[in-house]
Structure 1
Amino acid sequence: MCLILFGYKVSNKYPLIFAANRDEFYQRPTAPMHLWKNTPAILAGKDLEQGGTWFGVHKNGTFAALTNYRDPSSIRPDAPSRGEIIVDFLKSKKPPETHFNHLKEKQNPYNGFNLLFGSKDDIFWFSNLKNTIEKIAPGIHGLSNRFLDTPWPKVESGKKALQDIICGTITFESLFSILTDQSIPDDDQLPQTGVGLEWERMLSSLFIHSDTYGTRSSTVMLMDQNGTIEITERTYDPQDTLTYNDRRFVWEGSESGLS
């Protein structure tokens, strides 16, 4: 993913409100969110090129979402896929902090990434560039391709829009409306991440669209106090972003599975 917005313990009804966009080259083969055949306790999309994922949920109520750290000068072409990190976590039977403390302690082979993981009760952020695990405080947060709550324009505008929705009526469509914002900030507000001004402009909007690269899908997840999880993944047609397909999943707490 390239943008994650979430409200954590700021709503009486929903301890976790999650809205995110996955940006990727259009030619990269991808399977939409589904229950994985060999591990049906995992709900996630799949990168068919490397086999990993950018966001996933386990039937036990844990989840993980990953963003890349944007710094082209530090990219190692031979590094393993970061998408496997989420799969390994969702398959692990260790407590979340224990699992990622192990990742922190071993030599890190991956290119830069951020990982958001946990459950409605406790959420953590791990960056392999900072090599720290931080427990996230209640509030409204944003994560793009730098660090948690780095004040890039898209992160700040997304957090404000999420705050407005939480103060009003929370619906899936209102959350998706945040994620479709294609506003581009002025050049003097853009970050400088080493990709050049043209790409900085293109990547600066919440929803990205170009000839070859853009927002492939949006995901909205609501976890309520009773443990019910509702997720909708919206995948877009690169040729016509007004055309999309929705896949909806509901997990009614501990008494039934995702459907």
Structure 2
Amino acid sequence: MCTLLFAWQVFEDAPVVIAANRDEAIGRPSHPPGLYSENPRVIAPWDEQAGGTWIGYNAFGVTAVITNRWIDDELAAERSRGLLVGEALERESAEDAARFVERSVREVEYDGFNLALIDENAAILLEWDGGLRVRNVDPGVHVVVNVGADGDFEVPASRSAFGERQAENARRAREALQPDPGERSGEWHGRAAEILRDHDYGFCVHADSYGTRSSSLIRVNAEGVEYRFADGPPCETEYEPVDRHVF
């Protein structure tokens, strides 16, 4: 997952609204969202190669989303970051999940990541580049990309030109996604989806062997969780509802 847009505690009708693109090698197999685990019940897509996930939510109302983090240092990458996400989704709150991740990175060296853990009560961003930074984000609109989040970017020298362009696009997206007066979560969600498919922002990636493989729209409200999934680049793939009867 390389782009995450979310609104936390912005809309009265939905405290958590998420839009995210996953970028990955074209030939790497994955499974569309389904029942990822039973206890607790977790709904998520999964990577068929390593077995982990990049986005999902559980029966306790915790949502987790990960992006790669570009860094100059080469980390050991002893374990799949997707497995970390799946294990974080076993926790009963975003706070519990964050404490679990803090323990895990002391024991295993993962490749760089940005991991958002979100529920009704907290939105926590964990940024790992060989050291871990943990921050609670305020209510509002947030944009997470490979070089950082919300204007706090660290562009690696090895990707300086592309990283600076991504940072600028993230700034533009966050500004464009500030809520309009009277806007409701569904309208904002539609605007976020448009940005994910708009090539002017560079979030929908097309290359020979790598690109945007899927896109997710998740909205948590009083009636439960609404999840729509595009099993392909969102510029050419429709979002389809994910069956949530398992809850």
TM range (shorter): 0.7 to 0.9
Could you tell me which runs of 5 or more consecutive residues in structure 1 were left unpaired when the two chains were aligned.
185-204
User: How far apart are 1:9 and its partner, in Å?
Assistant: 1.2
- Within 2, Cα distance between the matches of 1:257 and 1:12? 26
Residue deviations 1:117-169 (CA, integer Å, cap 9, x gap): 13122111112234232211111111111223236122122222322568645
Measure the CA separation in 2 of the matches of 1:102 and 1:54: 17
Q: How many residues align?
A: 228
TM-score when scaled to structure 2?
0.81
Contact 2:64 2:117 in 1 (8 A): yes
CA distance in 2, matches of 1:79, 1:236: 29
Partner of 1:85: 84
8 Å Cα contact 2:78/2:108 also seen in 1: no
Give the 3-state SS of the residue equivalent to 1:142 in structure 2.
Answer: strand
Which residue of 2 is the match for residue 229 of structure 1?
225
Q: Is 1:159 the equivalent of 2:174?
A: yes
Deviations 1:204-242 (A, max 9, x none): x11111222111111111112x252111011126xxx75
- Which structure 2 segments of 5+ residues have no match? 154-166
**Paired position in structure 1 for 2:237:** 244
* Distance in 2 separating the partners of 1:99 and 1:35: 19
Contact 1:165 1:175 in 2 (8 A): no
For residues 232 and 59 of structure 2, the distance between their equivalents in structure 1, rounded to whole angstroms, comes to 26
Q: Deviation of residue 179 (structure 1)?
A: 0.7
Match for 1:217 among 181, 191, 214? 214
State the structure with more CA Rg. 1
Which residue in the other structure is 1:191 paired with? none
- Aligned-pair identity in percent equals 25
Alignment match, 2:157 = none
Match of 2:145 in 1: 144
1:236 aligned counterpart, secondary structure: coil
Matched, 1:178 2:195: yes
TM-score relative to the length of structure 1: 0.77
Decide whether the 8 Å contact of 1:33 with 1:247 is kept in 2. Answer: no
CA–CA distance in 1 between the matches of 2:181 and 2:17?
Answer: 9
What is the match of residue 10 of structure 1?
A: 10
Q: CA RMSD in A?
A: 2.6
* Paired residues of 1:59 and 1:257 also in contact (CA < 8 A): no
1:16 to partner: Cα distance: 1.4
Q: Deviations along 1:76-123, whole A, 9 cap, x unmatched?
A: 3x5211100111111245x44344334424234111111101312211
Q: Which stretch of the first structure deviates more once superposed, 78-87 or 48-57?
A: 78-87
